[in-house]
Amino acid sequence: MEKILRMGIGLFVGIWVARYLGPAQYGLLSYAHSFVGLFAAIASLGLDGVVVRELVKQPAKEKEILGTAFVLKLIGAVLMFAALYLAVDFVSDDKEARLLIFIIAGGVVFQSFNIIDIYFQAKVMSKYAVFANSFSLLLSSMVKIVLILYSAPLIAFAWVVVFESAVMALGYVYFFLKHTTFEIQRLVYKGTMAISLLKDSWPLILSGIAVSVYMKIDQVMIKEMLDSQAVGNYAAAVKLSEAWYFIPVAISTSLFPAIINAKKVSEKLYYQRLQKLYDLAVWIAIAIALPMTFLSDWIVNFLYGSRYEQAGSVLMIHVWSGLFVFLGMVASKWVVSENLLQNALVRTILGAILNIILNYYFIKAYGIVGVALATLISYFFVNYFSLFFYKKTRKCFIQQTKALNIFRALRGQGEEFDKKDHR
């Protein structure tokens, strides 16, 4: 429900902000967001999943675990600022863009408080984190609307990012103090615990950095190779295309436990249910992509106005990336179930490299439409085609191929994965 709320309000207010700022200023704001996003994984240090696991395994050490994780996240934020400083100085000489980047990065510091969210997850109390997230979203959305009505400058919208993060952090602390008996003053940092957490989290740090590059590099390269107006048009299209990505997350998260339980019954039933989930993901993605392809120019003009006319062509291509994103999100659950995380890391790194190379050449040849094409090819490679080359993931490739064969589904021939297919 929080994801649906975030999509609905975020999309509505985001479109309003884009119409108000115009392609050039909106592009500059999106560029700053993307640039910070490239380094955000450094601040998290890949700790979230590891901390949840340790809290469940070692409840007696929760004060030590939380205190150490909090300090590590603050150190991560400092490292992120250092990396940002060096990168900005090397890449951009636009003073306004640099100011926006460092303001938005300030919001990352407050993410250290998401250890409270991690604590809620470990204690099955996530509803309180949802309350804090939803309140901060509503309040920041109201602030953005007020800024639009009073013709605020671009920099004010960057400060809203910091404001939202601060409100979220305060919300976490409020619900933590109100609904737990945990004594914050007894939090403790221990070097041995820090080493233990980092020892387990370092692959996730690399994975997070690779994913950040993979997801955020496109808008940074557009700004450096073209201009902020091109970024604005591209970002407007991407916002509409990616608005639907919460659907496979919700479906796979809800249904995958049943699929895991089926494995206890039989391997055949396990893969039969998994096949149905792939089929569902493909049909939903196509149902979204088809109308948006034919109506892309009309949708963009209706929502954003004539100033964003280039976004229609981008949306027409980029929306098909969702097909492989949907398949990839289902596959990611299977990868965790089969303990193939190292393979996922390698594929993501290769996808990030491929995306950078394709962006470089396609931007020169086709402009922002080329970036959408590069994104589509990269998602196709990472979430589908690359699965063929590793024996242990080939079964996933076969099932995804079956799901993509819509004529098979129309004929009702939904065979499950079996040993013959694997051979």
The Cα 37–Cα 208 span in angstroms is 10
CA-wise closest residue to 68 among 50, 42, 41:
50
What local confidence, expressed as pLDDT, does residue 173 receive? 87
The pTM assigned to this predicted structure is: 0.85
Compute how many other C-beta atoms are within 10 angstroms of the C-beta atom of residue 122.
20
Distance, C-alpha 25 to centroid of its chain:
23
What local confidence, expressed as pLDDT, does residue 294 receive? 93
Are 224 and 91 spatial neighbours (Cβ–Cβ below 8 Å)? yes
Are 384 and 322 spatial neighbours (Cβ–Cβ below 8 Å)? no
The Cα 92–Cα 303 span in angstroms is 31
Q: List the structure tokens of 225.
A: 């190779």
Listed by start position, the domains of the chain span 1-225, 240-423
The Cα 87–Cα 212 span in angstroms is 15
What local confidence, expressed as pLDDT, does residue 271 receive? 86
pLDDT in tens, the chain (423 residues): 777 788 888 889 999 999 999 999 999 999 999 999 888 888 888 777 777 777 777 777 878 888 888 888 888 888 888 888 888 877 767 788 889 999 999 888 888 888 787 777 767 677 888 888 889 999 999 999 999 999 999 999 999 999 999 999 999 888 888 887 766 667 788 888 888 888 877 777 777 788 788 788 899 999 989 999 999 999 999 999 988 888 887 777 677 777 777 777 788 888 888 898 899 999 999 999 999 999 999 999 999 999 999 999 999 999 999 999 999 888 887 887 777 777 888 888 898 899 999 999 999 999 999 999 999 999 999 999 999 998 889 999 999 999 988 766 555 544 444 444 544
What local confidence, expressed as pLDDT, does residue 323 receive? 93
Are 323 and 289 spatial neighbours (Cβ–Cβ below 8 Å)? yes
Are 281 and 251 spatial neighbours (Cβ–Cβ below 8 Å)? yes
Angle at 204 between CA 351 and CA 239, to 5 degrees: 55
What local confidence, expressed as pLDDT, does residue 407 receive? 67
What local confidence, expressed as pLDDT, does residue 147 receive? 95
> Burial, 149: exposed, middle or buried (Cβ in 10 Å; 0-12, 13-18, 19+)?
exposed
Gap between the terminal Cα atoms of the chain: 42
Are 112 and 70 spatial neighbours (Cβ–Cβ below 8 Å)? yes
The Cα 209–Cα 8 span in angstroms is 28
CA distance to 162, 215, 221, 351, per residue, from 38 (Å): 17, 8, 12, 15
